[in-house]
Structure 1
Amino acid sequence: MDTKTDRLVRTLRLRHLELLVALSETPTMRGAAARLHLSQPAISKMLGELEGCFGARLFERSHQGIQANALGSSAVVRARAILHELARATEDVDAMQRGVTAVLRVGAPSVTATVPAAIVRLRERLPGAAVQLREGRVHELIHRLLDGELDCVFGAITPELISSDLIPLLEPVLLLKDELCVLASTANRRIAGRTFKWADLQTAQWVLPPKETLVRQAFMTVFLNSGVTPPVPVIEAMSSVTVGTVLRQDPSLLCAVRLEHALDEVARGGVHRLAVGPRVDLPSFGLFFRRDGLERTAILTAFADAIRSVGKANTVRDKRRAKH
């Protein structure tokens, strides 16, 4: 460690880190004092110690309250991650005392076929492993990863993520290609075994996600590129449960989804994927770690291997399907 870092380690206490987080979430010294059950003079003294250790002003004071500046915001991110790491260390020790060999905390979208399959492969390799899966929007999960709540996040590389300032903080360990898929009920015998062009399906009865989604935008673009007006959906829904249910109950419907959703629905039975060309690529999926320079644990490495293995198996399956 350099001299400055050594001073931080020797001087700062966990209470200082709690203060950093509290001040970032509470706009007044009084609020932070109440939250930490300390007096305002004690809070002021601790903040002075913090800024003295860092050798920089971390918060700006005004009549409206206190607010972290750029330096303070950076320090808050690290402090929050450290506190979460400590909480997780306690949880891991408790779990291991109950017989668990390792704990993995994964963030992923609510609809994914790859992650469940990878978890099963992981536990085949490490039977004593425990997995905690947190589902949600990728951008929100990435923030939880950076805060130290998660070990990794599996999600699409969306334009929103690429344009954010989070990318330099992330380490992608693999990427899986994604594409626009069309699903139909297996009860729809008219289209079984046929190959279509997108324009052929313009008059079909479609179930589609809202216009602001990447899937819907890609869907509209491919019809426009084919020289035809994009179909207007008879059902517009975002929920994968709703989409799967109406598709199975009404064989006349088609739906457009991304590959991860398609694989999940096909595995559940009652629907199949249509052969439609040309292929429409969607933003790839990646598995992300924090870019912290630390050596990956055995369970993280094993999970990345499992994701990679599932991805390869899906690719082989798709190629076989295309030949037939």
Structure 2
Amino acid sequence: MDATTGRLVRKLRLRHLELLAVLAEAETMRSASAQLHLSQPAISKMLGEIEACFGARLFERNHQGVHPNALGAAAVFHARSVLNQLARATEDVGAMQQGAHAVLRVGAPSVTATVPAAIARLRERMPGAAVQIREGRVHELIQRLLAGELDCVYGAVTPELIAADITPLLEPVAMLQDELCVLASTSHKGGPGSGRRRLRWSDLGASPWLLPPKDTLVRQAFVTAFLNDGATPPVPVIEAISSVTIGALMRQDPSLLCAVRLEHAMDEIARGGVRRLEIAPKVPLPSFGLFLRRDGMERPQVLLAFADAVKAAATRLGAPRRRALAAPVA
């Protein structure tokens, strides 16, 4: 611990960190004082103490209120991370007092075959582990990971994630190749895929399609596949993004074809009633990965075990041409 950090540890209290987090959201001294049940002079005094510890001005004051500058935004981010870690410590101790041996918080998409298989494998190895799954968009989950709310995130490496320029803060543990898949009902008769001839995208233009919305990566890859094959992309008869809705429609309307990610396809095939059509050429999609924070901290055993379980689950699920590229875990 260097001298500056030591000074912060000795002089800053958790109440100071709470003020940083609240003030960044409240944007006025009056609002912050109401939330913290402190007077405005007390708020001003505490903010002065914080800035003195950092040796820099963190908030800009004007007639519109107070707003964190670039230095303040960094301080606020880390203050929130410390408070989140404290909240997690409280939850973990409570869970362990009730019998859990370890707690793992995983961020993941709502449709994934790998994560449930990995959790089942983890529970076999560590029956006392308690797992909390938080579902959402990968970029939002990554932000929660960096803020200390999650231990790891399993999700696609989207252009949005790459553009956010936060990859240096992330440690990829397992990278899994992904591709565009076409699903048909097992009752699908007489249409494409019913014969032995290998299909191309151009063969499927007249089929009724169930597709995700235009702004999704799967839909964009679907359109590109047809254009690259010299064919006009078909207009879907149904648009849906919910995996529950897609699964129900595919099983109730055998005429439909559906384009999904490999991760989604594996989940639907495992549930039964649908099969995958082999279409040429293959269309790759952004890889899936399991990400940890690159913070230099020692990894808890439950997190290491889950990373191993993800790699094992990916291997066992073993869709064609999918392989796990393992990276060492520190």
Same fold by TM-score, threshold 0.5 exceeded? yes
Structure 1 counterpart of 2:267: 264
Q: Structure 2 regions of 5+ residues with no counterpart?
A: 323-330
Shifted more, 169-178 versus 256-265: the winner is 169-178
- Give the paired residue count: 319
Q: Tell me the equivalent position of 1:60.
A: 60
Q: CA deviation at 1:165?
A: 3.0
Deviation at 1:125, TM superposition (A): 0.6
The residue type equivalent to 1:44 in the other structure is: S
Secondary structure at 2:171's aligned position in 1?
Answer: strand
Amino acid at match of 2:70: A
User: Is structure 2 residue 140 aligned with structure 1 residue 137?
Assistant: no
Provide the secondary structure at the position in 1 that maps to 2:305. Answer: helix
Taking only the aligned residue pairs, the percentage that are identical comes to 70
- CA distance in 2 between partners of 1:265 and 1:254 (Å): 13
Structure-2 residue corresponding to 1:5: 5
Q: TM-score, normalised by structure 1?
A: 0.96
Please give the root-mean-square deviation of Cα atoms over the aligned residues, in Å.
Answer: 1.2
Paired amino acid for 1:280: V
> What corresponds to 1:276 in structure 2?
279
| CA distance in 2: counterparts of 1:128 and 1:49, whole angstroms | 44
Deviations, residues 46-71 of structure 1 (Å, cap 9, x unaligned): 10010000111111111111101111
Match for residue 248 of structure 1? 251
1:304 pairs with 2:307: yes
Q: CA deviation at 1:297?
A: 0.8
Does the residue aligned with 1:183 lie in a helix, a strand or coil? strand
For structure 1, the residue ranges without an aligned partner over 5 or more in a row are none
Question: How many Å apart are 1:292 and its aligned residue?
Answer: 1.1
Report the CA distance between 1:240 and its aligned residue.
1.1
Aligned AA (1:148): G
**Alignment partners' CA distance in 1, 2:270 and 2:237:** 25
Quick one: which of 294, 298, 304 aligns to 1:295? Answer: 298
Equivalent residue number for residue 35 of structure 2: 35
CA deviation vs aligned residue, 1:9-43 (integer Å, no higher than 9, x gap): 00000000000000111110111111111111111
Q: Which secondary structure does the structure 1 equivalent of 2:164 belong to?
A: coil
Match of residue 188 from structure 2: 188
Residues 269-288 of structure 1 show CA distances to partners (whole Å, capped at 9, x for unaligned) of: 11011111111000001111
Partner SS, residue 187 of structure 2: coil
For 1:9 and 1:192, locate their aligned partners in 2 and report how far apart those are by CA, in whole Å.
69
Residue 168 of structure 1 and its aligned partner are, at CA, apart by 2.2
Query: What corresponds to 1:318 in structure 2?
Result: 320
Q: Deviations over 1:106-131 (max 9, x none)?
A: 01011111101100000001011000
The TM-score, its normalising length taken from structure 2, stands at 0.94
Q: Which amino acid aligns with 1:6?
A: G
Aligned counterparts of 2:58 and 2:174: Cα–Cα separation in 1: 36
Over residues 279-317 of structure 1, what are the superposed CA-to-partner deviations in whole Å (9 max), with x where a residue is unaligned? Answer: 1000001111112110111011111101111112233x4
1:200-239 to 2 correspondence within 5 Å? 200-239=203-242
Give CA deviations for 1:212-259 in whole Å, capped at 9, x if unaligned: 110000000010000010011011111111111111111110000001
